[in-house]
Amino acid sequence: MDAQELQSLKNKFDIVGNDPALNLALETAVKFAPTDLTVLVTGESGVGKENISKIIHQYSRRRGGKFIPVNCGGIPEGTINSELFGHVKGSFTGAIDNRSGYFEEANGGTIFLDEIAELPLQSQALLLRVLQSGEYMKVGSTKVEHTDVRVIVATNVNLGYAVSRGKFREDLYYRICAAQIRVPSLRERKDDIYLLFRKFTSDFSEKYGMCKISLTHEAISLLRSYPWPGNIRQLQGFTQSLTSLESQKVTPLSGRVEIDAQTLAQYMPAATETLPATVPGDGGAAPGSPEDMQKIVQAIVFLKQEVDALKQAVYHGHAAGHIPALPAASDEEPAPDRQPEEEDLSIKKITGEMIVRALEKHAGNRKLAARELGISERTLYRKLPAEYRSDNKNKR
């Protein structure tokens, strides 16, 4: 695809940018389009993955058929099979009539399954059958149906990791991962950020009869330096809001409104608003959860045991004369901010609290609590705060 054809493609699908990774994604989509390969489109939320699916459909032999986009994450788990494959009358409460699903409606065309990682495992098995044979059954029916559909899927999570967590079927993963297209994030396309900004402010201004917004060089640098975790979707909303607040109605005497870096900085999202990346549905414990705390404290316990053993070895080594004494610290060396005794007390406090919580969870069963923490019963008893030991309780 030459430069002119590529620009024509961008104009047709309202795509702005000249980043090499973006161009590669567009060119790959056109190459995959004439085939019936199932294509996996990857990339962060808001980068424009649906545009890629539309390009594949429009450049395929199925462009005369329907293009049906489906957000798998937006359909309740209890109804998603009915939405995808249809149902028969009486198959469940509320099924007052027969209903066609998306795969039946898209017959002869293309179906785009966004957020594929959100599909329940049962639905993944049904999808795999459709991809392999074109066969499916409506909910509540025993009749095998057939469909001729091109499937394009998209995700913003690592499917390989989801497979390792048991949240995504391995056979389905290998079925859809052969033909992949990666759409780059906006922070990887820094030179495209201002181009997109100009398009968004121009479209918004024209729609509402307002003056267009431009930025000084310093303001452009500030715009490009932000990571834009929400990608194009976030930049579009930001630009529209900025234009609404800083622009003015077009008059015979009005012109373009220029914004400097100081003014732009007042509207830029704070760095702390950047959300941490997650893997939806991966089944992992949330940061700061009891499961994470148990792992942390377990590691602390093991580390403390290793340190104690090392201290004993060093002490006995010095006593036996096998290990030379360390030189005394000079007056120029800074004294440590924290004494070892204070550090030991801190570790003991954390460990004791975790052991108490584990015992409470298992109704005082030391064996189960020790097993959960990954330590021996003897170590658990030795690390247990004195007030919780049975011998101390008997003395009271």
247-258 pLDDT per residue, tens: 988 887 778 899
| Closest of 117, 131, 123 to residue 165, by C-alpha | 117
Q: Decide if pLDDT at 66 tops 90.
A: yes
Domain extent, residue 365, equals 286-310+339-390
Residues 151 and 194 in one domain: no
Q: Kindly state whether residue 359 falls inside one of the protein's structural domains.
A: yes
Query: What's the rounded mean pLDDT across residues 221-245?
Result: 95
Q: Kindly state whether residue 35 falls inside one of the protein's structural domains.
A: yes
Q: How far apart are CA 175 and CA 48, in angstroms?
A: 23
Question: Domain of 97: which CATH number?
Answer: 3.40.50.300
Structure tokens at 83: 């939405």
Residues 213 and 179 in one domain: no
pLDDT tens digit sequence for 346-384: 555 557 777 888 888 777 788 887 777 777 777 777 777
Low-confidence winner among 147-156, 334-343, 345-354 (lowest mean pLDDT)? 334-343
Question: Domain of 245: which CATH number?
Answer: 1.10.8.60
Instruction: State the pLDDT confidence band at 322, using cuts at 50, 70 and 90.
Output: low
Residues 68 and 166 in one domain: yes
Contact 222, 259 (CB under 8 A): no
Torsion 233-235-237-243 (CA) sign: negative
- The larger pLDDT score, comparing residue 283 to residue 31, is at 31
In sequence order, the 6+-apart residues with CB closer than 8 A to the CB of 291 are: 285
Number of folded domains that form the chain? 3
Query: What's the rounded mean pLDDT across residues 154-183?
Result: 95
Q: Kindly state whether residue 48 falls inside one of the protein's structural domains.
A: yes
Residues 216 and 118 in one domain: no
Residues 11 and 147 in one domain: yes
Instruction: State the pLDDT confidence band at 130, using cuts at 50, 70 and 90.
Output: very high
Query: What's the rounded mean pLDDT across residues 209-222?
Result: 94
Give the percent of the chain with pLDDT over 90.
Answer: 59
Query: Pairing state of beta strands 110-114 and 150-155?
Result: parallel
At 202, give phi and psi (nearest 5°).
-65, -45
Low-confidence winner among 49-58, 147-156, 190-199, 364-373 (lowest mean pLDDT)? 364-373
Q: Kindly state whether residue 70 falls inside one of the protein's structural domains.
A: yes
What is the model's pLDDT at position 312?
60
In sequence order, the 6+-apart residues with CB closer than 8 A to the CB of 85 are: 101, 102, 103, 104, 126, 136, 137, 138, 139, 145
Q: Kindly state whether residue 329 falls inside one of the protein's structural domains.
A: no
Low-confidence winner among 119-133, 152-166, 325-339 (lowest mean pLDDT)? 325-339
Residues 164 and 209 in one domain: no
pTM of the prediction? 0.67
Contact 41, 177 (CB under 8 A): no
Q: Kindly state whether residue 315 falls inside one of the protein's structural domains.
A: no
Instruction: State the pLDDT confidence band at 270, using cuts at 50, 70 and 90.
Output: confident
Q: Kindly state whether residue 316 falls inside one of the protein's structural domains.
A: no
Question: Domain boundary residue among 184, 218, 234?
Answer: 184
Instruction: State the pLDDT confidence band at 281, using cuts at 50, 70 and 90.
Output: very low
- Amino acid code (one letter) for 208: Y
Q: Decide if pLDDT at 220 tops 90.
A: yes
Cα 64 from chain centre: 34
Query: What's the rounded mean pLDDT across residues 238-266?
Result: 91
Question: Domain boundary residue among 184, 202, 223?
Answer: 184
Residues 247 and 214 in one domain: yes
- Amino acid code (one letter) for 384: L
Question: Domain boundary residue among 246, 272, 298?
Answer: 272
Residues 25 and 101 in one domain: yes
Q: Kindly state whether residue 317 falls inside one of the protein's structural domains.
A: no
Contact 214, 259 (CB under 8 A): yes
Q: Decide if pLDDT at 276 tops 50.
A: no
Residues 266 and 356 in one domain: no
Q: How far apart are CA 326 and CA 355, in angstroms?
A: 36
Contact 139, 92 (CB under 8 A): yes
Q: Decide if pLDDT at 58 tops 90.
A: yes
Strands (E), 129-278: 135-137, 144-146, 150-155, 179-182, 213-215, 257-259
What is the model's pLDDT at position 292?
47
Q: What is the mean pLDDT of the chain?
A: 82
Residues 218 and 92 in one domain: no
Residues 115 and 221 in one domain: no
Residues 146 and 24 in one domain: yes
Contact 88, 139 (CB under 8 A): yes
Give the percent of the chain with pLDDT over 70.
Answer: 77
In sequence order, the 6+-apart residues with CB closer than 8 A to the CB of 170 are: 163
